[in-house]
Amino acid sequence: MEIILKYFSDFTPAQLAQFEALKGLYSEWNEKINVISRKDIDALYEKHVLHSLSIAAIADFTPGTQIIDLGTGGGFPGIPLAIFFPEVQFHLVDSIGKKIKVVEGVAAELGLKNVTAAHTRVEEIKNRKFDIVVSRAVAPLGDLWRWSKHLMKKSTVPGKQFEKGLICLKGGDLAQEISESGLKPRLIDIYDIFPEESFKTKYIVMAKH
């Protein structure tokens, strides 16, 4: 938890309590359903929570923004972002039912009223549009874009701060992946935001609709 407070300081008491509860909740759920590797549970706040919050460090979502987290797994980046942005609506989806069970359990225990979750494949989501699609290391950028573009609202304010589109967390050499995607995304080096060893070669990738 200390590593979160190293970079963020203006939490309400309720947010602090929610962040502090994450380790116990994920440890408990991991005993029943293994959603986080054993070694990563010990580094939960750095490798999962702080990694998720890198998005919060570069994007200030306005109240009422609708965000979908594709392939959320155990709830990353969606759960930490939902704690950080209590006035923003998050819809967390995954094709694996047991992972959504964990998400629903954690969100309920934390009292997160701004989180919904669904066991579904992205292509099955109809008649819903979102301002932002977030995802963490789920698939190549081109696939993520193809899967998610039908879910995105069109941006109506040209030139304004990143408002609509895809934000994903990725690692490694992304040159070929970006080239194959046909997109011209903006890359932000997470190590520049949080200079921790584990964030070397980790990036936020932002692509506008």
Binding-site residue set: 71, 76, 122-123, 136
The helix-helix angle for 97-110 and 13-32 (nearest 10°) equals: 150
What string of DSSP letters covers 56-113? HHH--PPTT-EEEEET-TTTTTHHHHHHH-TTSEEEEEES-HHHHHHHHHHHHHHT-T
CA-nearest of 70, 65, 56 to 134 is: 70
CA distance 128 to 109: 27
Other CB atoms within 10 A of residue 15 CB:
15
Annotated binding site for S-adenosyl-L-methionine: 71, 76, 122-123, 136
CA distance 117 to 72: 9
Other CB atoms within 10 A of residue 30 CB:
18
